[in-house]
Structure 1
Amino acid sequence: MKPVSQVFQVKPIGYVRNGRGFSKVSILPEYGEGLDGVETFTHIILLCWMHMARRDVLKVRPRPRPEIVCGVFATRSPSRPNPIGVYVCKLLKRTGLDLYISPIDAYDGTPILDIKPYIAGIDSIPDAGLGLFTK
C-alpha cells in the first residue's frame, strides 16, 4: 500500500495555566463531562501541543548528553515536526473544570490535546533501557 500524505486536524480540549509554583489544566466547558472519574487517579498523562516549539528540527543535542548529536525522535525535545508533548503529572485535585497538577515546564497557554489516566501496571516498564542517555 502506497503511503498517502494526510493532514490531521485536532482541537484543544483545554489549556495549561502556570503560575508561581503551581500548574493547572483548565478544560473547556464542552469537554467537562469527559473529566468524570479522573479525580480517582493519583497521576495523569497530558498530551500537549507544544505551540512555541520549532517544527523544522530533525537533529538535536539532548540536554543530558550535549556532546551527542542525534535524531529528534531519539529525544524528548519539544522541537520536532509534530510538537506533541507528553507529561506524567501528579493530580493534586480537581475543582470543576480545573485539574491542579504537579508543576510542569509547559508555557502558560499551552494547548491540551488529551488526558489519560496513568496506570502503573500498564504505563510503567521496570526494565526499560535508557538508550543514548546511558553513559
Structure 2
Amino acid sequence: MSAVVERGTGRTAAAVPGWAVVLWAVAGLCLALVISAIGVFTVPVGLVLVVVLLVARQGAASPAALVGAGALPLTIAWLNRGGPGEVCRVIEDGTSCTETWSPWPFLAAGVLMVAAGVALVVRARRRAARGSV
C-alpha cells in the first residue's frame, strides 16, 4: 500500500487501504441481501458500515460494494448449478428432487458486478497512488 500526500495539508494518507475495500464489499453484500428474508438483519449492518466508511473518508473504495453485491448472484448461480429443471439427489431414505433455475443469468450478472467492482477499485487505487484523488 502506498502513501500519498493529501493536497493542501502536507499529511500523508493511505492510498486506498485494503481494509476499506473489504468493508465496502461486506457492506455491498449486506445491502444486496435486502431481497432475502435475512435482509431485515443485514441491511442495518450494511448501512452502519457505509456511514462508518464515509465518516472515515474511505469513499474512494466504495466501488468494492459491487464486489460484495455480486457475491449474491454468484451464490444463487452456485445453488442452481444443476439447473435448469428438476435436480434429484440421493438421500438416506430415497431421493429428494428440487426444481432449479438456470444458473447462467445469475452467473453473468455476478461476474459482471464483481469485474466492474474490481476494475473500479484498481482504478481508484492507481489514482490515489498518483496523488490525483
Q: Which structure would you say has the larger RCO, counting Cα contacts within 8 Å and 6 or more residues apart?
A: 1
Establish whether TM, by shorter chain, passes 0.5. no
More strand by share: 1
TM range (shorter): under 0.3
TM-score (norm 1): 0.25
Who wins on radius of gyration, i.e. which is larger? 2
Return the structure number with greater helix share: 2
